[in-house]
Amino acid sequence: MGLIENIKSFSIIENLSAEKNGLFQSFLANGFPTIKQEDWKYTSLKKIVANDFSVEGNGVTVSEEDIKKYSLGLQHKIVFCGGNLISKPSIDGVSISAFSEFESQNKDAISVLNSSLAKKGFTIKIAKNTVVENPIEILFFTSTKQDNFVQYRNNIDVGENSQIKFVERIQNLSDSKCFVNHFTQINIRKNAKVEYNKIQDNNENAILIDNMNLYQQQDSSVIVNTLIFGGAFTRNNLNFEQNGSNCDSNMNGISILDNNQFADNHTFMDHKQPHCRSNEMYKGIYLGDSKGVFNGKIMVRPDAQKIDAFQSNNNLLLSENATIDSKPQLEIYADDVKCSHGCTIGQLDDDALFYMRSRGIREKEAKAVLTYAFASEAVNNFTIAEVKKLAQKRIAEKLHVDLDFNL
């Protein structure tokens, strides 16, 4: 049986409230998105949803070694095992608990499915004027014998003048397929600062659809870094909404894919207020038969005067069979704004390659150094040393070189 049938059976056991059932029925009306929809034109879920996934399967244990292996070794850790919160740090001004209900505005099928059925995930509240120096690691482990579909639904509320950083990783520990529908909503109140790092380095049986909404109030500043190294299929929907003046929104993305990996970054930057800034930089490196998609939309509403928005998407195709579909979109309804975007698709520069080889750097290593140089503009924006180091290590590993890019 396909995923939809299994989800239907699951929903019956769940005994949904009228409201949730309404949402679920609206999901069922059209089912999973298909390539006929503009937002999914290059991203097909057809083969994935044909799998006989069990829904919200149990039976997970996670060992200390697993945690150690997949953690960056940061001081604060939130650990989920099969969707259950198994450990959390105690930090002044920060309350961390398991899933609790919240509403979301998203109308797309995947988000609606999440809001109708998801019951696992975290709720984090940061009191106002709380500055958390050390970043918080959030680890989600899954490991079921059968192929499995799971949904997490997370909510973060960052109080006025507070500052916090997160590093998130979803890890499948089994050889079965795991399809995660991940939904995270973050409210960033006045003058708060948030950084969220997504380490998407799952195994080759992992499928991820990650939706993140960020609602910013005035004077707030947000950075979201998306690092895609692993996983079979990854789709990110990253939505920023500026609801006050003088907001900063930053997105840095680095993807390095090989074999048959697929990754799609969909971003939506909604400028609704004046005197705000947004800066978006996505770098993609494609090897083997990998495939990438980038769709970045910047919306500048009529009230969003004097904003400064920048978007870039640069791609390096390192094999004959790798492909990238890139689509920048600008929609501007205000007249006094600075808006620019750029998209490039290219290969390594032969002259630079010869230059390096003439200095004794072997061809494979020279290619790796040039590839890293290409990515470094985004990597250098990573503020957490452990995240930057991981990126450097994984890029070297994926290019099969033993080089330390850090000096």
Is there binding between residue 355 and other proteins (CB under 8 A)? yes
- Bridge-based pairing state of the strands 136-142 and 163-172: parallel
102 residue type, one letter: F
Figure out which of the listed residues 30, 100, 354, 385 binds other proteins, where binding follows CB under 8 A.
Answer: 354
- Give min distance, CB of 280 to other proteins, in A: 19
- Give which of 125, 126, 123, 127 is closest to 98, Cα–Cα: 123
Minimum CB–partner distance for residue 279 and other proteins (Å): 18
Q: Does 347 bind other proteins (CB under 8 A)?
A: no
From the number of C-beta atoms within 10 Å of its C-beta (0-12, 13-18, 19+), residue 251 rates as buried
Regarding 376 and contact with other proteins (CB under 8 A), the answer is yes
> How far apart, in whole angstroms, are the C-alpha atoms of residue 265 and residue 174?
26
Smallest gap from residue 281 Cβ to other proteins (A): 13
77, 71 Cβ separation under 8 angstroms: yes
For other proteins, the closer of residues 333 and 354 by Cβ is 354
Q: Is 407 in the site for other proteins (CB under 8 A)?
A: yes
List, as one string, the DSSP characters of 216-265: E-TT-EEEEEEEE---SEEEEEEEEEE-SSS-EEEEEEEEEE-TT-EEEE
Q: Of 181 and 392, which CB lies nearer to other proteins in the complex structure?
A: 392
CB of 336 to other proteins, least distance (A): 31
The DSSP string of 140-153 is EEE--SS-EEEEEE
Q: Is 370 in the site for other proteins (CB under 8 A)?
A: yes
Residue 23 CB-half CA count within 13 A: 21
Q: Which stretch binds other proteins (CB under 8 A): 62-70, 254-262, 330-338, 368-376?
A: 368-376
If binding is defined by CB under 8 A, does position 264 make contact with other proteins? no
Site residue total, other proteins (CB under 8 A): 26
User: Where does this chain touch other proteins (CB under 8 A) — which range of 140-148, 215-223, 273-281, 374-382?
Assistant: 374-382
Q: Are 384 and 165 in contact, with CB atoms under 8 Å apart?
A: yes
Nearest distance from C-beta of residue 168 to other proteins, angstroms: 27
Beta carbons within 10 angstroms of residue 89's beta carbon? 16
Stretch that binds other proteins, among 143-151, 248-256, 328-336, 346-354 (CB under 8 A): 346-354
